[in-house]
Structure 1
Amino acid sequence: MNVSMDDLHLFVLTVQHGGISAAAKQHSLQRSKVSRRLQELEKALGCQLLIRTTRQIELTENGRLLYQQINQPLGSVAQAAKLLTNQQKSLQGMLRVAVPAALITSNMFTLLLENYLELFPDVLLEVLHCQESIDLKRDNIDIQILPDGVKVKNEDYVQQALLRFPSSLVASNAYLQSHAPINALSDLFAHPLMVSRYNQASLPDDLTLRLCSDDLRLIQHMATTGKGIALLPTILLKDSLKSGELLPILTHEKLPEIKLTLIYPSRQFLPEKTRALIKLLRDAFKLN
């Protein structure tokens, strides 16, 4: 770690004046120089300190931590910089992950998190249930996983496609025995369907929707109790299909797939604990 005291001073001035341009103007400095030195400071520390917008700057969590520390006597400044660098390299502390309900209910994802916690016992893992794109930097979220079709809030974030999840149409045996037969997609118009909002858009508009939910386990339960035909990720149905609790319908038809996207703020300032989880996701979900 090679942190310049001058760069730390420019960081303090930028925070105190509320922006790079204001700090440069107040101290007769070139804006480009201040911006470049702040980038060098972030590079030396291995983490992002500021969220830059056209008119102002905001502090990241790391930026707030550094600013609080370097308001102390000068002897504490080097210690603060060392603390921040060590925090980025360590496999400890909190890791916050935002995922949709479709993934929370997946056995594959549960096993992946169990594996992560066993490998890194000093990491506190916080899993948030989130259906929409969020600003990861401002909300202090390390990773988000979103279904295809949800617009990412910040296009500058790293986005990586995960494995596609094929879907299956299923129903209980009791339902199929007591309702009109289903031999083609056109036969679905005579049946109530239960879907998630992630695959609803790919279905014909005239179908009778009985239930639309982000909770895939709820949809599966309703299908098991004979409330209609469910369209669900095949991976979620493995045990129910094996036991005969649910039966597949129209297996020869190509059905909608759910594609997940992995999102994180930056490749450059990835803490090791975040990098480790991304690697597990890469191995489990076969990142493209």
Structure 2
Amino acid sequence: MKLNLDDLHLFVLTVQHGGISAAAKQHSLQRSKVSRRLQELEKALGCQLLIRTTRQIELTENGRLLYQQVNQQLTEVVQAAKLLSNQQKSLQGVLRVAVPAALITSNMFAQLLESYLEQFPDVLLEVLHCQESIDLKRENVDIQILPNGVEVQNEDYVQQTLLRFPSTLVASDEYLQSHPQINQLSDLAKHTLMVSRYNQASLPDNLTLRLCSDDLRLIQHMATTAKGVALLPTILIKDALKSGELSQVLVNEPLPEIKLTLIYPSKQFLPEKTRALITLLRDSFTESKIN
């Protein structure tokens, strides 16, 4: 026996509205369609549920028994479906975002979140510190941002490349004045180097790394306090360069870029609060907007 839940729902509506025509009119359906689906339901159950007359319908004993059993449950199912649908469309509730430490410490990312919270005051943002790819659905996370080099756990997830962030070699003037000059990349062999794990592989193998961290602010602090030469995203150190806290090294040397990837489970069932943040991320970090 194959039962169609839509047919059961039509049966309940027909009883509640006192007739096929009334139920069809109330829910913008064709009367013939409602009548046909009720016949299919009776066929599937193998018994008559309604006695049809010219002006109204009457329940058979089997029909009365079925109505008593399914009325409340189906009503609750429909209400639950409406609740879920409204929740998907609303701009409220919890939005969980997983980002690496490098992005958490970025002023640009902080300003983006401030803008989102100002626009959507009914959304609670939960920002998680996460360095590796996670299963978003199992972990109940809406969006993840990952740097290049980190393999995405689920290839079925939507992946959007954000802007590439060029890197710059920097050091404090105090450090540069007390150490050998740096005129070419090979000269870095005589210096203390500090990098993130996202760009360390891009440097020559013969260089010695003294500090490797996911915390870009830590690397910047160490460079500012004359502890060595740091390789950092240019966007992170613009203010430090402008103030003179740090100076560029090997300005004309092509250096690696950090690429960020935006990841979310599906376009088809995207809640509006998630879509809004994705739009803001794309507007801020890419040259294209969400479709």
Short-chain TM bin: 0.7 to 0.9
Distance 1:229 1:8, change over 3 A: farther
Deviation at 1:188, TM superposition (A): 0.5
Q: Which residue of 2 aligns with 1:263?
A: 263
Separation in 1 of the partners of 2:5 and 2:236? 54
Separation in 2 of the partners of 1:7 and 1:237? 64
- Paired residues for 1:6-155 under 5 Å: 6=6, 73-155=73-155
Q: Does 1:185 align with 2:192?
A: no
1:2-52 deviation line (CA, Å, top 9, x unaligned): xx735999xxxxxxxxxxxxxxxxxxxxxxxxxxxxxxxxxxxxxxxxxxx
Distance 1:7 1:232, change over 3 A: farther
Q: Which residue of 2 aligns with 1:163?
A: 163
Query: AA paired with 1:5?
Result: L
1:182-228 deviation line (CA, Å, top 9, x unaligned): 01101001111000000011111221111000000000000011110
TM-score scaled to structure 1, two decimals?
0.75
Separation in 2 of the partners of 1:215 and 1:161? 22
Query: AA paired with 2:209?
Result: L
1:144-201 deviation line (CA, Å, top 9, x unaligned): 0000110000000000100000000000111000000001101001111000000011
Deviation at 1:76, TM superposition (A): 1.2
Separation in 2 of the partners of 1:101 and 1:145? 11
Structure 1 contact 161–287 (Cα < 8 Å) conserved: no
Separation in 2 of the partners of 1:170 and 1:155? 36
- Paired residues for 1:197-236 under 5 Å: 197-236=197-236
Query: AA paired with 2:281?
Result: L
Deviation at 1:286, TM superposition (A): 1.3
Q: Which residue of 1 aligns with 2:5?
A: 5
Separation in 2 of the partners of 1:214 and 1:177? 28
Query: AA paired with 1:230?
Result: A
Q: Which residue of 2 aligns with 1:29?
A: none
Query: AA paired with 1:84?
Result: L
Distance 1:159 1:181, change over 3 A: same
Per the alignment, in what secondary structure is the counterpart of residue 248 of structure 2? strand
Structure 1 contact 160–287 (Cα < 8 Å) conserved: no
Structure 1: 4+ residue segments shifted above 3 A: 6-9
1:93-148 deviation line (CA, Å, top 9, x unaligned): 00000000111111111000000000000000000000000000110110000001
Query: AA paired with 2:198?
Result: Y
Distance 1:111 1:7, change over 3 A: farther
Per the alignment, in what secondary structure is the counterpart of residue 96 of structure 1? strand
Q: Which residue of 2 aligns with 1:249?
A: 249
Identity %: 80
Structure 1 contact 169–232 (Cα < 8 Å) conserved: yes
Distance 1:287 1:94, change over 3 A: farther
Separation in 1 of the partners of 2:240 and 2:112? 21
- How many residues align? The count is 224
Deviation at 1:73, TM superposition (A): 3.2
Deviation at 1:75, TM superposition (A): 2.4
1:62-111 deviation line (CA, Å, top 9, x unaligned): xxxxxxxx9x8332111100000000000000000000011111111100
Per the alignment, in what secondary structure is the counterpart of residue 210 of structure 1? strand
Q: Which residue of 2 aligns with 1:194?
A: 194
Structure 1 contact 161–262 (Cα < 8 Å) conserved: yes
Structure 1 contact 281–287 (Cα < 8 Å) conserved: no
State the structure with more CA Rg: 2
Q: Which residue of 2 aligns with 1:286?
A: 286
Separation in 1 of the partners of 2:199 and 2:5? 54
